[in-house]
Amino acid sequence: MHIAEAVVDQDAVAFPAHHAITRTLFSFLTVSQAASNIARSLLLAHCLYIDSDQRLKALIRCLEANGIRDHLDRRAKSIQKLFLKPFTSNTINERSVVDDIYTLFHIVGPVLRKVVVDIPFRSYYPDEDRDTQIRPVMRDGFERLHNVEEFISVNDELYLDTLVGVREDLVWTHWSKLRYLALYNLEISLSDRASPKALVELPELEIVILARPDWDRDGIQELYRNVRKPTHIAFLNTPFEHNMDFDEENTPDPATRSLTPTRETVELKGTSCQMLHFHKIDVDPGDPSTSTFAHNPKEKCQRFLRERGLDRSLWRLL
C-alpha cells in the first residue's frame, strides 16, 4: 500500500474511474482488510470523480454504509476534493439527482476544500421551478460549501437564484475562505454590483479566472473602487474573441490590445493598479480547416476550465 500511496498525485482534484491510479486503488480493495481500509480512504480522498447520477448514488451509499453520516465524522475529513457532473441530460430538472446533491453536501459539504462542478444551472430557471422547487434545494446544498478554498464552475457563474425577478447574491460571495475561483460567463457590471465587489472583497481570494465574462468599463472601475488587497483576475477566451473584447472602444486599457503572450500581465490605470492585476489567457481555438470544435468558443473554454481545473494547472497559468 505504500506504493499505492506514493503514486497518487496529491495535487489533482479527482481521478476518473478509468484512470490507472483509480484502477490500482480498486485492486487493493480485495487484498486484505488493512489494504482495503487504506485503499478506500485513498479513493475517497483522490477519486471522487462523479460524472453520472449512478456514481453519485453509489458514493452516498458508500458513505452511509461506512457510517459516515455528517462532516463531524473524523473519516469525512479526508474527503476534501470533488468533481461533480451528475446530470446526464442537459437539464437540472431531475429531482432525484438534486436531492442526492443535497444529501452529499449535507454529509461532506463543510469539509470540502477543492471543488469542480460541471452543472447546467441555467437549464431550468426560477420561473419554471414554481411547482417543483428544485432550485431552492440545490442552493441550500451549495451553501454548505462555506469552507471551500478552490472552486470552479464550468457552465456558468454558479447561478442558483430561486426567486422570479429578484437577483440574489451569488452563493460563492459568502465563502470567506475562498482563495482560487474560476467561473464561466460571469457578469462584471454595475447592474450586478455584488459580483465586482465580491471579487476583490473576499478576504482570502487571490486568483480569479473568468472564462468569456460579460464586462464593461463601469464594472472594471467598480473593482478598482473596492479593491483592498492584491488580486489577480484573468480573462480566458479564444484569441479571436479576446480581440473583439479588447477593441479600442471597449478595452480597459490600450496596452491590452497589443497583448498576445498568454501569461503577460495587463496593468490597468488607476490608483489601485499595484493591487489589482489583469491577465489574458488565450485558449487555442484549434485548426478551423479540420475541426468544427474550433468554431465553438464556449465548448472550447469550458473544456479548458474542466481539464485544467481537474489537474490544477489552471492556477499555474498566472
- Given a cut of 80, is residue 226 above it in pLDDT? yes
Return the H-helix or E-strand segment holding 236: strand 231-237
Residue 40, beta-bridge partner list: none
One-letter amino acid of 137: V
Q: What is the pLDDT of residues 210-222, one digit of tens each?
A: 999 988 888 888 8
Q: For residue 167, how many C-alpha atoms fall within 13 Å in the half-sphere facing its CB? A: 6
pLDDT (mean) for 7-35: 85
Whether the predicted pLDDT of 177 surpasses 80: yes
Q: Report the pLDDT averaged over residues 261-280.
A: 55
Distance CA 224, CA 218 (A): 10
pLDDT tens sequence across 23-52: 988 888 878 877 788 888 889 999 999 999
How does the average pLDDT of the chain come out, rounded? 84
Q: How many CB atoms lie within 10 A of CB 89?
A: 11
Cα pseudo-dihedral 251, 256, 258, 260, rounded to 10:
-120
Q: What is the pLDDT of residues 229-253, one digit of tens each?
A: 899 999 999 887 776 665 544 444 4
- Return the residue matching grid coordinates 499595484: 274
The Cα 241–Cα 148 span in angstroms is 31
Q: Can you read off the three cell numbers belonging to residue 137? A: 434545494
Residue 74's Cβ-count burial label (10 Å; 0-12, 13-18, 19+) is: exposed
Q: Residue 217's pLDDT is what?
A: 81
**Following CA atoms 289, 241, 284, 206 in sequence, which dihedral angle do they give, to the nearest 10 degrees?**
-170
- How many Cα neighbours within 13 Å face the side chain of 161? 17
Looking at the chain, list the stretches that DSSP marks H as alpha helix, in order from N- to C-terminal side: 2-7, 20-27, 33-46, 53-65, 95-108, 134-142, 194-201, 217-226, 239-245, 297-310
Domain boundaries along the sequence of the chain: 1-47, 48-178, 181-295
Structure-model confidence comparison of residues 290 and 261, the more confident one: 290
Maximum distance among all alpha carbons in the chain? Answer: 67
